[in-house]
Amino acid sequence: MKYKSIALNELDRVDEAYECLEKITEINPEKKKCLTEARKNPEIERCDKLMDDAEILVADQQYEKAISNYKEVIKSDPTCTDAYMYIGICYDHLGDYSSAINFYDMALEIYPLYPKAWLNKAITYQHTGDITEALICFDKAIELDRNYSLAYYNKGVLLMENGDYRRALECFTKTLEIDTKNDDAKYNAEKCIGYLE
């Protein structure tokens, strides 16, 4: 994993390199120092600050300002998949779905195995009413991370909204296997059972 992180960093795939380092620290907490040292680079610190500030702006629903921050990060690190994805989320909140999908696609072009980008792309397709594309994206997120409870849950909501209660129930059941405390999944599973009786 350490060597993979170094190789990804050499290829300017910084986000993926950090993911590897974070996984290393999960396995071996003593390696946390490595991650802390890597983050001391002034440009990385500036990008981290921009990302943190953007997160606050998103929480305050200041999506245009957040997009500005994320675009500054991209200028500094054109491979920052999170920045592209969060721009997509901001555009989704602003109702500009085609721009949202474009930014998810940019993130996925850099890192096609990014379940969170597939999930958010699915949600945006759901907002456009394109159920087929939404389901394809949900399935891709699940294929990449079999324990992605949020992907199962959101797929279940989409299926339930479209009257496919049996498949929706399967999704909510899977959500609850992974996240036993998900009260929304419990509630929706019970609703589906009610519809199926």
Q: What is the pLDDT of residues 128-156, one digit of tens each?
A: 999 999 999 999 999 999 999 999 999 99
- Please give the pLDDT value at position 45: 75
Calpha distance 173→63 (Å, rounded): 34
- Please give the pLDDT value at position 47: 76
Q: Answer yes or no: is pLDDT of 63 > 80.
A: yes
Report percent pLDDT > 70 for the chain. 78
Q: Which of 107, 105, 98 is nearest to 70 (CA)?
A: 107
Structure tokens at 163: 């009257």
pLDDT grade for 23, boundaries at 50, 70 and 90? low
- Please give the pLDDT value at position 5: 41
- Please give the pLDDT value at position 52: 85
- Please give the pLDDT value at position 137: 98
Buried b (16+ CB within 10 A) or exposed e, 54-69: beebbeeeebeebbbb
- Please give the pLDDT value at position 153: 97
The phi, psi pair for 39, rounded to 5°, reads -80, -5
* Range 146-197 has CATH code 3.60.130.10: no
Is residue 32 within 8 Å of residue 10, measured between CB atoms?
Answer: no
Hey, where are the domains in the chain?
A: 1-40, 42-130, 146-197
Q: Answer yes or no: is pLDDT of 29 > 90.
A: no
* Range 42-130 has CATH code 3.90.1150.10: no
Record the pTM. Answer: 0.78
Q: Answer yes or no: is pLDDT of 107 > 80.
A: yes
Q: Which residues are within 8 A (CB) of 154 and not within 5 positions of it... i.e. 6 or more apart?
A: 119, 122, 123, 126, 138
Averaged pLDDT, 152-168 = 97
Do 42-130 and 146-197 share a fold? yes
Averaged pLDDT, 119-127 = 98
Q: Any idea which residue has 């797929």 for tokens?
A: 155
The phi, psi pair for 12, rounded to 5°, reads 60, 30
Q: Which of 126, 150, 146 is nearest to 136 (CA)?
A: 126
Is residue 46 within 8 Å of residue 76, measured between CB atoms?
Answer: yes
The half-sphere exposure of 60 on its side-chain side, counting CA atoms within 13 A, is 11
Higher pLDDT, 103 or 45: 103
Averaged pLDDT, 8-24 = 53
- Please give the pLDDT value at position 1: 43
